[in-house]
Amino acid sequence: MPSIPQPLVPGDDGSADAAVSSALAAFSAGTADAGTVMAALGGARLLVPVVALLTESEVGEHGLRQEKESEMALPKLVGKDGRQAVLAFTGTGPLKLWRPDARPIQATTPQVCQAAVHEDAAAVVVDVAGPVPFVIEGAVLRAFAAVGSGTVDQLGQESPEVTVARMEQAAPRRRRLGWPLFGR
């Protein structure tokens, strides 16, 4: 039997992360670049919308069509060129601007990007209805997805435009004690 996952942030009031909101506002004003927004989004909680889709209906005793069965679905945005994007929102306010009946599911930015890659979407669109829409696509989308799935090592092989840096613990340096202390 499937279980309902625990929320990432128990007690979340649905507000947008202050650092993300600030970075998006600065990006919109032209005082910050996309890298600033990416840095803020890196550890942020986003809200992914799910909506009910009617799968079966029936005519009730008063002659009106009524719901019999429905499923929850992850909506996607489809561009004029046919490319698809997964939607994500910084908070419940921007989510309600887009679609008031959507239900929010908490996810990290890497998890949302991983879902987009899994769904063969070309992008993640954050806050599509505003206040500041932002698109994560291309190598950045794949990099966030790799972080979410733990496949960062493969990313450098699959995407030549991405450089994967590895940090290793340095060997302890030996300090030389002696005179003069100030001559260096």
Q: Which backbone phi and psi does 70 adopt, to 5 degrees? A: -145, 160
For residue range 27-51, list pLDDT tens digits in order.
999 999 999 999 999 989 999 998 8
**What pLDDT does residue 62 have?**
76
- At residue 147, the pLDDT reads 84
Angle between helices 138-149 and 109-118 (to 10 degrees): 110
107, 140 contact by CB (below 8 A): no
β-strand pairing of 45-59 with 103-108 = antiparallel
Q: Among 15, 62, 57, 17, which Cα is nearest to 37's?
A: 17
- Residue 34 confidence (pLDDT): 94
pTM score above 0.85:
no
Structure tokens at 133: 């829409």
pLDDT of residue 109: 94
Burial degree of 121 (CB within 10 A; 0-12, 13-18, 19+): buried
- Residue-level pLDDT at 61: 76
What parts of the chain have a pLDDT lower than 70?
1-8, 54-58, 66-70, 148-184
Instruction: Give the C-alpha separation, 101 to 74, whole Å.
Output: 13
What CATH fold (topology level) applies to the domain 18-52+69-153?
Answer: Trna Endonuclease; Chain: A, domain 1 (3.40.1350)
